[in-house]
Amino acid sequence: MDLFSYAFMQRALIAAALTGLAAPAVGTYLVQRRLSLMGDGLGHVAVTGVALGLAFNSSPIWTAMLVTALGALVTELIRERGSVNGDVALALLFYGGLAGGVLITGVAGESASRLQEFLFGSITTITVSDILVVMALAAVVLIIAIGLAPQLFAVSQDVDFARVAGLRVRVYNLLIAVLAAVSVTVAMRTVGLLLVSALMVVPVATAQQLTRSFRATLAAAMAIGVLASTGGLAVSAEASKYATVAPGPTIVIIALAGFAVTWPVGAWLRHRRRLTSPFADVIDEHLPTEGHDHDHGPACGHVAVPHGDHVDYLHDGHRHAVHGSHYDEH
């Protein structure tokens, strides 16, 4: 790991860790409101922002954030109007963002490869001033996403209830939209604008395979995000000795691999939970089984499900309960 003794790799590591922490924190709220693709859409809008920055020779980070935040606010206002076809409206905005970005880059005489740095990330060319901006923005995202978690949770969970509870629903909705825009900007240099959404959504999808509460999902998603982004950076640095391995896509692939590993476990846990949830306590009529050779018990290998004051053992479509020296069909 002597690669990390280089200053540029240390900067890259800090940027990756911060992105991995901030993106899933916002992503959790987006997934909660079933807006998983919002990050992707904002990434497209940010392309126009980057192109504007390049065209006017100002810092692409700031123009990207400005344009993305604007796009996020417009998106949120369209959504707030309660349009059933809101997703179509969003699509219009997103394609406009991408097309505008490519068009402006061309008109301004910038090369497409300059734009590509932002589309797919260029974490190893990050400068010290970039790092400071990323740190500040990530701190803002984390403070709001964690500090206002009870309010943001309530607004995302049940808008009507939150409104009657006196919460300023619109302010919180716009806040989440702007947070999403800021974290898109944070992740821009790490995984790039076209893959931003992956870092916001995939760790959340992975976390919720194993969690049952919102807070656990939020915490686990952030931990998974950091593991994936720093791990992806390390793997791509190691692999770069043998071939061209870009960090951005590596981070996303590692995050997806995490999901692929967790999903079967989550599916098994859910199956198990369904199977062992107690049966309703109904008095059954007495139906003894005939010719039952097997002895049921805690270690017999059959699923034991609570049923009133006893347990039923499940096998071959039967529910068998111990009754004296025989078993009853329940």
Partner 1 sequence: MSVISLQDGAVAIGGRPVLRHVDLEVDAGDVLALMGANGSGKTTLVRALTGLRPLATGHLDLFGVPFDRFHDWQRIGYVPQRASAASGVPASVWEVVASGRLTRRRLLRPLSRADRAAIAHALEVVGLADKAKDGIGQLSGGQQQRALIARALAGEPELFFLDEPTAGVDLPNQQALADALGVLKAQGATIVLVAHELGPLAPLIGRAVVMRDGRKIYDGPPLADHEVHAPWIGEVHAHHHTEHHAAHLSSHAPQLRSPLEARPEGSR
- Quick one: 118 or 153, whose CB is closer to partner 1? 153
Cβ neighbourhood burial of 275 (10 Å; 0-12, 13-18, 19+): exposed
- Quick one: 141 or 237, whose CB is closer to partner 1? 141
Q: What is the closest distance, in whole angstroms, from the C-beta atom of residue 171 to partner 1 in the complex?
A: 12
Q: What is the closest distance, in whole angstroms, from the C-beta atom of residue 25 to partner 1 in the complex?
A: 12
Beginning with the edge strand found earlier in the chain, give each strand of the sheet holding 303-307 in spatial order. 303-307, 310-315, 318-323, 326-329
Closest CA to 50 of 19, 250, 42, 78: 42
- Quick one: 164 or 303, whose CB is closer to partner 1? 164
- Quick one: 165 or 300, whose CB is closer to partner 1? 165
Q: Are 40 and 196 within 8 A, CB to CB? A: yes
- Quick one: 162 or 178, whose CB is closer to partner 1? 162
Closest CA to 108 of 61, 58, 37: 58
- Quick one: 212 or 241, whose CB is closer to partner 1? 212
* Distance in angstroms (rounded) separating the CA atoms of residues 3 and 233: 11
- Quick one: 33 or 318, whose CB is closer to partner 1? 33
CA atoms within 13 A on the CB side of 31: 22
Q: Residue for token digits 């604007």?
A: 70
Residues lying near partner 1 in the complex (CB under 8 A): 28, 31-34, 36, 78, 81-85, 88-89, 92, 147-148, 150-151, 153-154, 156-167, 204, 208, 211-215, 217, 273, 277
Closest CA to 191 of 118, 99, 130: 118
Please calculate the CA angle 317-323-328 and round it to the nearest 5 degrees: 30
- Quick one: 77 or 287, whose CB is closer to partner 1? 77
Q: What is the closest distance, in whole angstroms, from the C-beta atom of residue 16 to partner 1 in the complex?
A: 24
Q: What is the closest distance, in whole angstroms, from the C-beta atom of residue 11 to partner 1 in the complex?
A: 32
Q: What is the closest distance, in whole angstroms, from the C-beta atom of residue 322 to partner 1 in the complex?
A: 25
Q: What is the closest distance, in whole angstroms, from the C-beta atom of residue 97 to partner 1 in the complex?
A: 17
Q: Are 327 and 292 within 8 A, CB to CB? A: yes
- Quick one: 86 or 106, whose CB is closer to partner 1? 86
Give the H or E element holding residue 313: strand 310-315
Q: What is the closest distance, in whole angstroms, from the C-beta atom of residue 325 to partner 1 in the complex?
A: 33
* Distance in angstroms (rounded) separating the CA atoms of residues 33 and 253: 25
Closest CA to 63 of 21, 100, 13, 111: 100
Write the DSSP assignment of 75-117 as a string of letters: HHHHHHTT-TTHHHHHHHHHHHHHHHHHHHHHHTT--HHHHHH
Given its phi and psi angles, is residue 292 left (phi above 0), alpha (psi -120 to 50 degrees) or beta?
Answer: beta
Q: What is the closest distance, in whole angstroms, from the C-beta atom of residue 305 to partner 1 in the complex?
A: 15
Q: What is the closest distance, in whole angstroms, from the C-beta atom of residue 93 to partner 1 in the complex?
A: 11
